[in-house]
Structure 1
Amino acid sequence: MKNTRIFALIIALVSLLTLTACGGTTPAPSSSPSASPSAPANTDAANLADTLTFAQGAEPRGLDPALVDDGESSKVIVNIYEGLLKYAKDSTALEPCLATSWKVSDDGLTYTFELRQGVKFQDGTDFNAEAVKYNIERQMPGNATTDMTYADFVYGYVTKVEAPDTYTVVVTLKDKNTPFLSNLAMSMAAPMVSPKALQENNGSVMEKPVGTGPYSFDRWDKGQDVVLVRNDNYWGDKAKTQNVIFRFISDNSARVVALTNGEVDMIDGIDATVIDQLKSAGMTVDQPDGMNTNYMAYNVDSPIFSNAENRKAVSEAVNVPELVQSLYQGYASPADTILPSFVPGFSSDIKQVAYNPDDAKTILSKNGVTAVHIITYSNVRPYNTANGDVLATAIQGYLSKVNVTATIDSYDWTTYKEKVKAGDFDIAFYGWTGDNGDPDNFMSLLSDKDPAMNISRFNDPTYLELINKGKTTPNGDDRNAIYKQLEQIQVDQNPWLLVSHSKLLSAYSPKIQDYYYHVTGNVFLSQMTKLK
């Protein structure tokens, strides 16, 4: 998954999504939409460019929504694919998309979806109930492959999918699952892929994506860019710009220069050190609060950090508020809990372990901890705009003060994901951008069996029991209380040192109109335009 991914408009409070019949919802964590300042109305095609170029810090891992879990893939995916549901432009409230309506049985186990008619996949085949059935069954328990990271998260409770007619789908769950509808709007696992394309490509469309969205895939020049073209057969509002290019520029400074020179139109993954430079060049900087968490993970399977006392001691060695102010200069806030403050279940009563280097030094010396192996990533992330190298080096400095030597191995993002999964580390850095505004989306990371998601390999029976209880409890005070208990277990057991919740920083040219960067960290380009 599964991480938010930027203006002076701040994410407003969230009402809880309520599972009600016929698609009724109340707003979830809300964010004012990122949007460009009022620009002169100018829709004359002669005055608009035919291409938008968005530069990001890393190449996608792939473009099959069932087979990826990273934000760089997600930003491209949401412009090609769609799901049964979607999020509102300014929040994670649910809206119809490929399903026009839905209802839930009284026992909470059966979901009936009425589908939009007349929709075509970009290969010309029909979107219908059989296509939905194919997509869900592909990722159900027993069918999902090990590289389908989000399959269990989205479809793990599904026991049966039926297509009683061409435009009706009935999904049956084994237990109540409060986040289920919210999960169906996510950019991972939930988007609908052309069954024909999957069949023609041995079950994977990582490099040949086919969805129903406003843009179609044109080409992928590895190491350089992905090019999309307008889907003129799109069922909804057609894309306003003919071509979209996602360019990969790993170096932060180079990405800034590309924007200020006019080589690209929009960038993300920037940090506080370039804000003044961008503004002085006439660029607009977007910076809403992010639905994200930045953390340092202890590998509980390593000889050092299988001991909870050592995990606590290393956490005590790090002055988190000082670290956050130094690295992010006001564009992130120190984290005491996994959940951002506007996500249901957040509790201000939860406080992580306090800075205490003397105690850390005593415990680590007593337990013979003199060295640790750290792995990190070389690029910036939406939750860590200082980049992984900088964060790891800062932690290395704190550890040296308690007589622990930290060796650091750094990798590009794609390689790093594989290194994390392999598990050859004591400490690693990761983060999460919320997919759907539901607390389970954050807290389940520490219960997941997949080491690509639960990179600490944390496995606590009480935690697992509470996670399952939270998924089946209706939204409200009782459910919030469960997530407060889960947050306290995280503090007590300390599989992560929580670092920060960051603003979503991106920037764009003044030529861009209707800029839009969603609270989930995705960038939807179809309604943006660029003045010549």
Structure 2
Amino acid sequence: MRKKNFLFAFMILLLAFSVVGCGGGDKEGAADNAKPKVFVFGQGADPRGLDPAFVDDGESAIPIVNIYDTLVRYKEGSTEIEPALATEWSSSPDGKEWTFKLRQGVKFHDGTPFNADAVVFSVSRQLPPNRTDAMPYASFTFGPVQKVEKVDDYTVKFILNEPYAPFLANLAMALAAPIVSPAAVEKYGDDFIEHPVGTGPFKFIEWKKGQQIVLEANKEYWDGAPKLDKLVFRIIKENSVRAAELKTGSIQGMNGVDPNDVKMLEEAGLKVIKNPGMNINYLAFFCNNKPFNDPKLRQAVSHAINRENLINFLYQGLAELPNGVLPSFMPGYDKSLAPYEYNPEKAKQLLAEAGYPNGLKVTLLTYSVVRPYNPVGGDKLAAAIQADLRKVGIEVEIKTYPWKEFKEIYTPEIVKDGDFMLYGWIGDNGDPDNFLSLLETKEIKTTLNTAKYSNAKVDELLVKGRTALTMEERNAAYSELQKIVQEEAPWVFLGHSKDMAAIGKNVEGFDLHPVGVIFFHNADLK
């Protein structure tokens, strides 16, 4: 009897343990099977590519800053610099040598180590003689860099040809500056542009052209694992379609918010972010070709465009009227600059003085997508400008291209398909040189100088501003430069658009950075 009772008790005990074990397993399984946090972000166009050395567009920049890291980075919400892949740095008294101590224990997504060799590789491929015309930001970012060399496994030294005030800020930029995996570049060759490997908070998984890019969390990220499990960039061309999908919850965030959709989104309880825009929306004349090689004709067009109407009606007041290249909150801004007033009669007078008393016919190139600096899209803006110019006798033919094709159309030094174009710029680093360099002669070759504008004095003042040791000296050079540009009118300054994005009700930790990108490392879904 005792033996039977003992066996019975033993069996009850085993059953109890098995129930506890199963219960514990169910809890773990519930945690393992918890719904992953997938943030779907809607943007208007495919990236040009995901190798930071070979692209120059915002659609590429947003995924890139989440896949790669830079030596230094911007602080949240500002363009102040803080450590990233470099933990500390110093410069020589003459400003020509910069030494960086690198973070140890960091690995690329392919498992290879981040070290001095990777930094030297990433930068050297963008320096002469390796630099090619297909690297649009290389000279812009590393122009004064003579060489970069390894001091030891975790120390690198940059040697510059001359002091360069924006140098440290440039190393935090989204394009050209990110550090790539040398092993992955060797493995994929030219296809690395579609198979990116960095050290950033998210790993690349796939890119279905015209549909989506999928990233997953880098759980071993040196600055802490992301809160999201996956980050998906969905390509949704139409502003209104993106807004509708955000409203239904099929995407969690979007950029390219149409000013006409803001009220609808806010009434639906969604958050619309409206930050001061570190950008410029402009019309660029092709200054090296007829008819706009004549400054008088450029001035005529500048007087003919009703910029205030564009701001108040086309952009619904969600943009500021520029007085020059720089937004009002940036260093180097000159409040004394007087932009061209809307004056159709003055425009007609200048047209006659330029040899076109009966007007002329010209072709305007534009893009079919929306841009952060132009949230209504190139078509609508072109049509508004066309209507204004018609009033003074200028007939405008509009040619519209998809974004990638558009970038190729204006690339040749002499553009044959048009006479002027719509474009814009999003500031990369908060330094005035980043905007004003777009008018430098040497940037014609890189395609950053879309107006193909060249003025030796402007070039000289840009060098003076970069190499000056004080901000006062820099501001003086930039003020003189902007007055020359104002007179010669290579651009019509159309607006500084509010930097806008919209997010769902359950999104936390999301914001637009002043340099126009979105860092998703701290974003979360609740």
TM-score by length of 2: 0.91
Shift, 1:475, TM fit: 3.7
Query: What is the aligned partner in structure 2 of residue 382 from structure 1?
Result: 372
Query: What is the aligned partner in structure 2 of residue 5 from structure 1?
Result: none
Q: Is the 8 A contact 1:125 1:196 kept in 2?
A: yes
Given candidates 205, 210, 213, the residue that maps to 2:192 is 205
SS in 1 for 2:499: coil
Number of residues paired by the alignment? Answer: 488
1:472 and 2:462 aligned: no
SS in 2 for 1:76: helix
Shift, 1:480, TM fit: 0.8
1:36-435 equivalent positions in 2, closer than 5 A: 49-202=36-189, 205-366=192-353, 367-368=355-356, 369-422=359-412, 423=415, 424-435=417-428
SS in 2 for 1:304: coil
C-alpha deviations, 1:177-200, integer Å up to 9, x for none?
Answer: 010000000000000000011111
SS in 2 for 1:227: strand
Q: Is the 8 A contact 2:44 2:239 kept in 1?
A: yes
C-alpha deviations, 1:192-237, integer Å up to 9, x for none?
Answer: 0000111112255210000000100000011100000111222121
Given candidates 420, 427, 430, the residue that maps to 1:437 is 430
AA of the residue aligned to 1:503: K
Q: Is the 8 A contact 1:229 1:242 kept in 2?
A: yes
Q: Is the 8 A contact 1:252 1:269 kept in 2?
A: yes
1:462 and 2:445 aligned: no
Q: For the pair shown, which has the larger CA radius of gyration, 1 or 2?
A: 2
Q: Is the 8 A contact 1:417 1:452 kept in 2?
A: no
C-alpha deviations, 1:66-109, integer Å up to 9, x for none?
Answer: 00000010000000001100000010000000000000001110
Query: What is the aligned partner in structure 2 of residue 503 from structure 1?
Result: 498
For 2:289 and 2:268, locate their aligned partners in 1 and report how far apart those are by CA, in whole Å: 48
SS in 2 for 1:505: strand
Shift, 1:511, TM fit: 1.0
Q: What percentage of aligned pairs have identical amino acids?
A: 43
Q: Is the 8 A contact 1:320 1:499 kept in 2?
A: yes
1:13-32 equivalent positions in 2, closer than 5 A: none
- 1:47–1:527 Cα change, 3 Å: farther
Deviates more, 1:332-341 or 1:411-420: 411-420
Shift, 1:452, TM fit: 2.3
For 1:281 and 1:420, locate their aligned partners in 2 and report how far apart those are by CA, in whole Å: 40
For 1:530 and 1:261, locate their aligned partners in 2 and report how far apart those are by CA, in whole Å: 16
Q: Is the 8 A contact 1:49 1:529 kept in 2?
A: no
Query: What is the aligned partner in structure 2 of residue 27 from structure 1?
Result: none
C-alpha deviations, 1:125-181, integer Å up to 9, x for none?
Answer: 111001101111100132111110110011111112211210000110010101000
- 1:109–1:47 Cα change, 3 Å: same
For 1:51 and 1:439, locate their aligned partners in 2 and report how far apart those are by CA, in whole Å: 37
For 1:270 and 1:465, locate their aligned partners in 2 and report how far apart those are by CA, in whole Å: 39
AA of the residue aligned to 1:480: N
Shift, 1:362, TM fit: 2.7
Query: What is the aligned partner in structure 2 of residue 9 from structure 1?
Result: none
AA of the residue aligned to 2:150: A
Query: What is the aligned partner in structure 2 of residue 10 from structure 1?
Result: none
Provide runs of 4+ in structure 1 moved above 6 Å.
Answer: 44-48
Q: Is the 8 A contact 2:136 2:446 kept in 1?
A: no
Q: Per chain length, whose mean CA-contact separation is higher, i.e. which structure has more relative contact order (CA < 8 Å, sep 6+)?
A: 1
Query: What is the aligned partner in structure 2 of residue 13 from structure 1?
Result: none
Shift, 1:49, TM fit: 4.6
Shift, 1:356, TM fit: 1.6
For 2:284 and 2:470, locate their aligned partners in 1 and report how far apart those are by CA, in whole Å: 29
1:517 and 2:512 aligned: yes
For 1:50 and 1:373, locate their aligned partners in 2 and report how far apart those are by CA, in whole Å: 48
For 2:402 and 2:491, locate their aligned partners in 1 and report how far apart those are by CA, in whole Å: 22
- Long gaps (5+) in structure 1: 1-43
For 1:217 and 1:49, locate their aligned partners in 2 and report how far apart those are by CA, in whole Å: 17
For 2:520 and 2:147, locate their aligned partners in 1 and report how far apart those are by CA, in whole Å: 35
Shift, 1:515, TM fit: 1.5
For 1:362 and 1:478, locate their aligned partners in 2 and report how far apart those are by CA, in whole Å: 38
AA of the residue aligned to 1:490: V
For 2:287 and 2:181, locate their aligned partners in 1 and report how far apart those are by CA, in whole Å: 40
- 1:45–1:462 Cα change, 3 Å: farther
AA of the residue aligned to 1:440: D
AA of the residue aligned to 1:402: V
C-alpha deviations, 1:505-531, integer Å up to 9, x for none?
Answer: 110100111112211111111211112
AA of the residue aligned to 2:111: G
Q: Is the 8 A contact 1:80 1:216 kept in 2?
A: yes
For 1:308 and 1:363, locate their aligned partners in 2 and report how far apart those are by CA, in whole Å: 10
Q: Is the 8 A contact 2:240 2:258 kept in 1?
A: no
1:528 and 2:523 aligned: yes
Shift, 1:47, TM fit: 8.0
TM-score by length of 1: 0.90
Query: What is the aligned partner in structure 2 of residue 487 from structure 1?
Result: 482
For 1:313 and 1:330, locate their aligned partners in 2 and report how far apart those are by CA, in whole Å: 25
Pairwise CA RMSD? 1.4
For 1:400 and 1:318, locate their aligned partners in 2 and report how far apart those are by CA, in whole Å: 10
For 2:183 and 2:103, locate their aligned partners in 1 and report how far apart those are by CA, in whole Å: 19
Q: Is the 8 A contact 1:178 1:475 kept in 2?
A: no
Shift, 1:385, TM fit: 1.2
